[in-house]
Structures are given as C-alpha cells and as structure tokens.
Amino acid sequence: MHIKTPICLAAASLSVFAMLTPASASTKPSGLELSLLGRYSAGAVGAGAAEITAYDARTRRVFVVNAEQDTVDVLDLRDPRAPRKVTTLATPGANSVAVHDGLVAVAQQAAGKTGAGSVAFFDARTGAKKRQVTVGALPDMLTFTADGRQVVVANEGEAASYCAGAVDDPEGSVSVIDVRRGTVRTAGFQAWNGKEDALRAKGVRISGPGASAAQDLEPEYITTDGGTAWVTLQENNALAVVDLARATVRDIVPLGLKDHAQPAGALDASDRDGKIDIRPHPVKGVYMPDAIAHFRDRGRTYLVTANEGDSRDWECHSDEVRVKDADLAPSAFPNAVELKKDAELGRLTVLADSPKDAEGRYTELRAFGGRSVSVRAADGSLVWDSGNELERLVARELPGRFNADNEENDSFDSRSDNKGPEPEGVTVGQVRGRTYAFAGLERVGGVVAYDLSDPRRPRLAGYVNTRDFAGDVEAGTAGDVGPEGVLFIDAHDSPTRSPLLVVGNEVSGTTAVYEIRS
C-alpha cells in the first residue's frame, strides 16, 4: 500500500510500485515491504537518546547509543514487537557502538572533545566491562572487521575553536585496535602536511583556516573488506583508503561534484516559494557522504554512500553562505539578479569557499551534499548516483510533507534550501539472495531501499516512513523522527527468521524495528 498522511503510528508499511520506477532503470523495481514491528522509546526528545545501533545474535540484544544519558541502552529483541530495555552500559561520551560474537565496542569522546578519546569493550551478555583503550580525538564511529580481530575507529578530530589565539583543531586519524592484544596503532595524515595545495588541485577540500592537512581531514564513517578500510572524510568530500595490516593511509580519493544543472540532478532550491519545484539549477553538489557500506558483486567490491553534506559553522569561522548574499561573477552568472530571488537560488546554502575569480566573485556555486545515494567502485570512482530520485520519491509519497524538517511537523519545504531530505545512515543486506541498500532520510524521515543486483543500475525497491505528522515532535507523539543509525539483521540471525531493519531515531529518541519481506 502507499503511505498516506498522516501516517499511522502503529504498523505502517509500504511497497513501492512501478509508478516509482527511477528514470535510470529500464525495468520495474523489485519491491520490498518494510513493516513496523515494534519500537522502544527512551523517553527523551531532541537529545540524541537513540542514535547508533548494533545487534548481537547470540543474546538477541540490540545496543543503542543514548547520548542524552551517556549510556548504551541494551534492548532485548527476542520479541521484536515489544523491545524492552534490560540494562545499560556506562559509556560517557559514547558516539558509536559495534558488536562481534558477544563483544561490544563503544567509541567514547573525551570530556573536552579535542582530547584523546577511548574505546571500551563489554561482554554482551553480562554487561561487564572488559577493557578500555585510548584512541584519537573525537572517535565518531567504529566497526569490527569481518573476522572480529580488529576494531577500526574514525577519529574525527573536529575543531573546538577557530578563533585567533585560541585555535583548537586536533588532527584526524584512524585507529586500528588488535582485539586480542588490546594494542592500538594509528593511521594519521601527517604525510600530507605541506601538500595541501596538491590535495586541493585534485579535488580534496581543505578549508579550515590555517589548518594543516592532518588537522583538516576529518574521518566520519568506515567500512572494511579484507585488509582495506574505506573512510569517509565528509567535510573534505573525499575517501581515505587505509591499509589495515600496516595501519597506514594508502590514498586520499576526491569524490567529485554533482551537476544540478542537468535534469537528472535537478533539485528544489528554495524554502520560500511555498511549493514543490524540482528543476535544474546552475549549481554543483558536493557529495560529502556521511555513512558508507560495501557489498561484493562478481568478485568486485563496491561502496555505497549516503550523501548528506555537512558544514563547519563555528564561532569565528563559517563555511556557509546564502546565494543572495554572495557576489556573483557576471561572466559566470549573467542573470545574477534573477538567481538571487528567494524563489530561485537566493535562499540556497552553498559553500563559502566555492571557486571565485581574481576579484573575489563566485564563478561557481557548490551546495552541501548530493541529496542522494551513490554506488562507487573500490577506487572511489562513481558508478551510479540516485540523482533527484529521493526528492521525487518524497514529493510523490508525502507531497504535504516534502522536504520537511525533523524538529517540527508543520515544516513543509523548509529544508529545500539546505540539503533536502538529507540521507545520512546507510547499510547493506541480503534478502532472498538479492543485495539491497537501506538509507535513512534524516529530515523528512523514513528509510529508502535500493536493489543493488546490478551495481550500475540500482532500482528503487521500497520506502517506509513511520513518522506521525499528526503528532507533535516536541511532545514525543510524532512517531519515529530523525533516523540516524540504520542496522540490517540477516534472516539467519533474526528472532523472527525474517530479515529485520533496526533504526535509531535521534530526534524522537525511538528505536524502531521493521520486518523486511520481498
């Protein structure tokens, strides 16, 4: 069935039919039905009470980062229709959690986020703390390798201040932890210091004021396959390729730009026109992916990214500017007066360090994020991008809630000027022999599924949104709002023997469990 608004809070489900076939596909999408089985509410709204999730098949437990309480909430999932909290793990500064064969790893930032962070290990059954090791600044995400022998940590190294005389910008890095020995090796970026201009020339964004490459490169999310880790450098619009055996960064790969002037890249750029208006604009999109996952097809590794976009908007430094406030070069934008109108590009938030001419006038406008999901080859080259399909999907399924924000329900079109539906989390899993990607849309909500059977022509396969637009977000009556972490549970490991999707919703503080059927 199709979602209607307001969405039923109880058991919403959706199959996407042929009318939603993406323009890039020549055949009908293979449909999935994602049905809400149950949810757990942490009872706190807008405080990050449910973020990243991890699952232990042995104990049938889900581990949920609860930043509001500085804990990891442990949920019993033996009955996914009624998840219940059985205990908590004390994890001050927790940002991420992962599980492998009964061992839980939690990334914890220091009290002062620019200090050295840590990873704590717990027994999944007893909750007993087994070990804690020191890693880099602001460990934002971590994952086990497939064999469970290593934990790989993205130390974002985000700045606390860019103010003159008080610059506090630690170096980003990737920690590689030997689980058995408890030893930590660090893959840093010092080798690129002094080579900032060369990085920029090949398309890697280095933009922090006075920052070295090692300070500016900020690891966000990791996926591993064999002895290699691919790490998103979100603000830098790049990937770091890490050799895990040597704990060294092998390469930094730029991700390129998306052309919103082409029909396939059309977007709605205004939050002040009171309508859905998806069309081409003279803008380039900077992919800036958050989450990354991988899958294998015919012996090749492919990467899947959720192209969220992110800015650095700090005291004394901001890399955001609205087009209406930008000085546009007449040679590049002869119709600048028209473009600066609110109903055109005037409201669109773009990178303040977009290219300029010798007089400081913008010759190109670059917007944050790709508003899309991408498939890339192992070398980082683009294989496929969903184009404008996510915005068109929401326009069709939830026209009255198009590009809504996640802070309030009455917010139609309010995110069109800034990253649109904002895909953030992504995971990959197999359903009846087919490989699918599942991506959460942080702003309007819900999870979209793509069939990856042909990596060069993925097909839209489903969308579910259990946000209740008749409720009140602040009052906690709006269902599931602000999906952050998206977790796939294979049928073999599932308590229902059907594959499940577990989503941590940071705004509503809810952990939602969906059953997946083909």
CA distance linking residue 395 with residue 389, whole number of Å: 10
Please name the fold of domain 13-310+369-517.
Answer: Methylamine Dehydrogenase; Chain H (2.130.10)
325 DSSP 8-state letter: G
Q: Are the beta carbons of 371 and 307 closer than 8 angstroms?
A: yes
Element (H, E) at 200: helix 196-201
Q: Give the model's pLDDT for residue 190.
A: 98
Q: Give the model's pLDDT for residue 165.
A: 82
Q: Are the beta carbons of 240 and 174 closer than 8 angstroms?
A: yes
Q: Cα(first)–Cα(last) distance of the chain, in Å?
A: 14
Structure tokens that stand for 399 in this block: 């026209």
Q: Are the beta carbons of 397 and 467 closer than 8 angstroms?
A: no
Element (H, E) at 108: strand 103-108
Q: Residue 373: what residue type? A: V
The single residue listed with the structure tokens 């997946």 is 516
Q: Give the model's pLDDT for residue 30.
A: 55
Q: Give the model's pLDDT for residue 45.
A: 97
Torsions phi, psi for 438 (to 5 deg): -125, 125
Cis peptide before 6 (omega within 30 of 0): yes
Return the domain boundaries, the chain. 13-310+369-517
In 313-340, which positions are buried (b, 16+ CB within 10 angstroms) versus exposed (e)? ebeebebebbbeebebbeebbeebeebb
CA distance linking residue 105 with residue 222, whole number of Å: 15
What is the chain's pLDDT, residue by residue, as a tens digit (518 residues)?
333 333 333 333 333 332 233 333 323 345 899 999 999 999 999 999 999 999 999 999 999 999 999 999 999 999 999 999 999 999 999 999 999 999 999 999 999 999 999 999 999 999 999 999 999 999 999 999 999 999 999 999 999 999 988 889 999 999 999 999 999 999 999 999 999 999 999 999 999 999 999 999 999 999 999 999 999 999 999 999 999 999 999 999 999 999 999 999 999 999 999 999 999 999 999 999 999 999 999 999 999 999 999 999 988 999 999 999 999 999 999 999 999 999 999 999 999 999 999 999 999 999 999 999 999 999 999 999 999 999 999 999 999 999 999 999 999 999 999 999 999 999 999 999 999 999 999 999 999 999 999 999 999 999 999 999 999 999 999 999 999 999 999 999 999 999 999 999 999 999 999 999 98
CA distance linking residue 296 with residue 455, whole number of Å: 9
Q: Give the model's pLDDT for residue 31.
A: 84
Q: Residue 128: what residue type? A: A
Q: Is the pTM of this model over 0.85?
A: yes
Q: Give the model's pLDDT for residue 164.
A: 86
Handedness of CA 262, 268, 273, 277 (dihedral sign): positive
Structure tokens that stand for 156 in this block: 């974002």
Q: Give the model's pLDDT for residue 333.
A: 98
Q: Give the model's pLDDT for residue 27.
A: 32
